[in-house]
Amino acid sequence: MPAKKKKAALPAIETLDQFHATVDQIAQLEVSLRGAAAIRDSAIQKVQEQYDGPIEDKKARMKSLVDLAGTYATAHKETVFGSKLRSASTALATFGLREGNESLKTLKSKTTWETILQGLKAIGKYIRTVEEVDKQALLDAKLTDAEYAELGLRVDKAERFYVVAKSADANRISTELEPTA
């Protein structure tokens, strides 16, 4: 990846003609950028098509072999790891058993989290209640500025300048890449 270039100081826009010329230059750059990105994306897609099949085949084969070896290792922990170890090695690999994160599961398939919640309510512990402002509902309410102010709020809507190249004129703009020094 090329090193980042320092941003050159641009002269200030002083007239409407200079502004329009700047906007047109932005449009030309946008179309050129789209063309360059399309060329790059096409090349990437060709390489991906060439290698995706073999890569996916290798991933599937590895997963099958890991599952097979894991089944054996789990069933024969003492033989594979010894009495105190959770990992071991061969000439080409280190292998072992990792503990995952703790999680809770219901004891029986007929036990639901709702029945567990009811039991915990009786105890009065281990129940979480989350309260938060429903910002979207407040925006949807379309209150007046004064009503929002009474709540300690204001509606903020950022205004951002944009330039979009006209697609109809895109064919007259060069998509050639300029060589980098």
Q: Model confidence at 181, in pLDDT bands (50, 70, 90)?
A: very low
Helices (H), the chain: 16-75, 77-81, 113-123, 135-140, 145-150
pLDDT digits (tens, 9 = 90+) for 52-91: 999 999 999 999 999 999 999 999 989 998 888 888 889 9
What is the pTM assigned to this prediction?
A: 0.52
pLDDT digits (tens, 9 = 90+) for 139-175: 999 999 999 999 899 999 888 877 777 876 555 555 5
CA distances from 150 to 59, 139, 145, 157 (A): 59, 15, 9, 19
Give the C-alpha separation, 106 to 111, whole Å. 6
Give the DSSP H or E segment for 96.
strand 94-96
